[in-house]
Amino acid sequence: MAEVKAVRPRRKGPDLKKALNIFLFLLPAILLFVGILVAPIAVSLYRSLQKWNGFSPGTFIGLKNYKELFTSGSIKWNTALKNSLLLAFFSVFVQLPFALLLALLLGRKYKGERFFLSVFFMPVLISTVVIGQLWLKIYNPDYGLLNTFLDLVHLSSWKHVWVGEVETALGSIIVPTIWQYVGYHMLLMYAGVKGVSPDLREAAMLDGATNWQVDRYVVIPIIKPIICTSVIFAVTGSLKTYDLVRILTEGGPFQSTEVPSTLLENMLFLRNRYGMGSAISVMLIILCFAFALVISAVFKNRDE
């Protein structure tokens, strides 16, 4: 005890030293975070108000980039936004319900629960570039599995140049994206389902509820925060999508499958329009935060 008393006053004294230590502990993280994320975003915000080719000094043009983004047909922003929102729609209304179904079923202690869980999660771990290459082999018009299969079942008329036709290209991107991440959302929801106390389930069953009723009225309300997280991830993930588009279609045919991130890259490398590229990245930040806020607000409202 005597020692503790002796220590206390000493700690109070060197406040400056403590502040310096805190600063030093935080320094590496702050350097990385500010240098690579915060400062660049501030620069993006500033540059998005300029006409700028990346090298000569930019000229201030106010909100013209944003105006052009939404009104000019040649930038394809509206197409890109529509495509990523469509992807978000399918993620939320096809992928998540299916993931929830799998999570609820696996939560009921079927034999092989661990095996199925591990298999369903596996595609999440594989690089999207690898996934994209595999699906290219499935979609290949001459030798791909899909067209070969259609020949086999005498549905040759259904064959398509899947990633090369305007009608099918976007669908060809949406299908593997949804397929790959079902396991991710399933895992999060499964963790939630497993966290529900078995006593609750048993009590409800004793009252005569069926498994489905227990899921509907006991489990789902409890895992709502996780569902909310999943919806946010699904929507922001769709807005940020890049890899599969680059691999499968390169934004084509006729730029019909562009998404915001591929447009952003085009602005840098094909058009030297760095100001416009900055405007696109600012729009992406705004959209991601706006959707995240709106979605959590919707979930909160429902609770009350």
Partner 1 sequence: MEVYFTSKKPKPVVKVLVYILLIVWAFINLFPIYFMFTFALKSNEEIFGMNIIGLPKEWLWSNFAAAMKTGNMGLYFFNSVLVTVASIAISIMAAMMATYAITRIKWKGASFTNAFFMLGLTIPLQASIVPVYVVLSKLHWLNHYTTLIIPYSAFTLSMSILICTGFMVEIPYDLDEAARIDGCGLWGTFFRIIVPLLKPALSTIGIYAFLQCWNEFMFANVFISDSAHRTLPVGIKALSGQHTTDWGPIGAALVIATFPTLIVYIFLSRKIQDSFIAGAVKG
Site for partner 1 in 70-99 (CB under 8 A): none
Select from 141, 268, 271, 299 the one that contacts partner 1 (CB under 8 A).
268
- 155 is a contact residue toward partner 1 (CB under 8 A): no
Does the protein bind partner 1 through residue 200 (CB under 8 A)? no
**Counting contacts by CB under 8 A, is residue 173 touching partner 1?**
no
- Stretch 127-146 residues interacting with partner 1 (CB under 8 A): 127-131, 133-138, 142-143, 145
| Nearest residue (CB) to partner 1, 79 versus 84 | 84
Q: Pick the stretch among 74-82, 88-96, 165-173, 229-237 that binds partner 1 (CB under 8 A).
A: 229-237
Q: Any contact of residue 292 with partner 1 (CB under 8 A)?
A: yes
CB of 165 to partner 1, least distance (A): 19
At closest approach, how far in Å is the CB of 3 from partner 1? 6
CB-nearer residue toward partner 1: 128 or 172: 128
Interaction of residue 18 with partner 1, rule CB under 8 A: yes
Q: Is 3 in the site for partner 1 (CB under 8 A)?
A: yes
Cα dihedral: 32, 36, 42, 45 (round 10): -160
Of 85, 175, 188, 222, which one interacts with partner 1 (CB under 8 A)? 188
**In the complex, least distance from residue 64 CB atom to partner 1, rounded to whole angstroms:** 17
Q: Check residue 261 for interaction with partner 1 (CB under 8 A).
A: yes
Residue 44 binds partner 1 (CB under 8 A): yes
From candidates 29, 74, 198, 270, binder to partner 1 by CB under 8 A: 29
Q: Which residues of 185-209 are buried (b: 16+ CB within 10 A; e: fewer)?
A: bbbbbbebbeebeeeebeebeeeeb
Q: Give the one residue of 171, 240, 253, 299 binding partner 1; rule: CB under 8 A.
A: 240
Smallest separation (angstroms) from partner 1 to the CB of 72? 19
Residue 251 is a binding residue for partner 1 (CB under 8 A):
no
DSSP-assigned states of every residue in the chain? -HHHHHHHHHHHS-HHHHHHHHHHHHHHHHHHHIIIIIHHHHHHHHHTTEE--SSSPPEE-TTHHHHHHHH-TTT-HHHHHHHHHHHHHHIIIIIHHHHHHHHHHHTT--TTHHHHHHHHHHHHHS-HHHHHHHHHHHH-TTT-HHHHHHHHTT-GGG---TTTSHHHHHHHHHHHHHHHHHHHHHHHHHHHHHHS-HHHHHHHHHTT--HHHHIIIIIHHHTHHHHHHHHHHHHHHHHH--HHHHHHTTT-STTTT--HHHHHHHHHHTS--HHHHHHHHHHHHHHHHHHHHHHHHHHHHHH-
CB of 163 to partner 1, least distance (A): 13
Which CB atom, from 170 or from 248, has the smaller least distance to partner 1? 248
Q: Which is nearer to partner 1, 13 or 167 (CB)?
A: 13
